[in-house]
Amino acid sequence: MDAVTQAAQDAVTHAAQDIGTFIRSQRVAAQVSLRQLAERAGVSNPYLSQIERGLRKPSADVLAQIAKGLRLSAEVLYVRAGILEERPASPVRDALIADDAISERQKQMLLEIYESFRKENAETAQAEFASHEAEPDPRGRDNT
């Protein structure tokens, strides 16, 4: 096995251990047994144990089920597992994620809409700034 392959394999193993350790710490903090979480998440007890010990790397679907069982946002587990990049902090996003009155699917839809509005507003602001820079100053002065 060459060094690049070994490094990639080590990175996957490290990520699996990190997500497993995080899941275990969240489960313990929530005072949920391994068996209870396995049942809530719809996975077998041995499989969940292997995930927590870093022996197995769960799929995005399994992470979503575990997140639901722990009453966490799936996004939190996706970031920890390296599936998603961490986003800058946002009080609106944090409030949506913490809201237990809406489902994970509804949270995801609201977050997508919110992000699309933010992106649209940023693009509009950038276009307005660029057009202002390109306009000649009516007083004959340079805008730059």
Q: Report the distance separating Cα 81 and Cα 34, nearest Å.
A: 19
Tell which residue, 98, 62, 81, has the closest CA to residue 21.
Answer: 81
Report yes or no: 135 and 128 within 8 Å, Cβ to Cβ.
no
Whole-prediction pTM value? 0.54
Report the C-alpha dihedral over residues 28, 34, 40, 41, rounded to 10 degrees. 100
Which of 71, 88, 78, 87 shows the shortest CA–CA distance to 15?
78
pLDDT one-digit tens code per residue, 66-112: 999 998 888 888 888 888 776 677 788 778 877 888 887 788 788 88
Q: Please identify which residue in the block is written with the tokens 């699996």.
A: 16
CATH number of 1-85: 1.10.260.40
pLDDT tens digit sequence for 3-40: 655 554 554 445 556 899 999 999 999 999 999 999 99
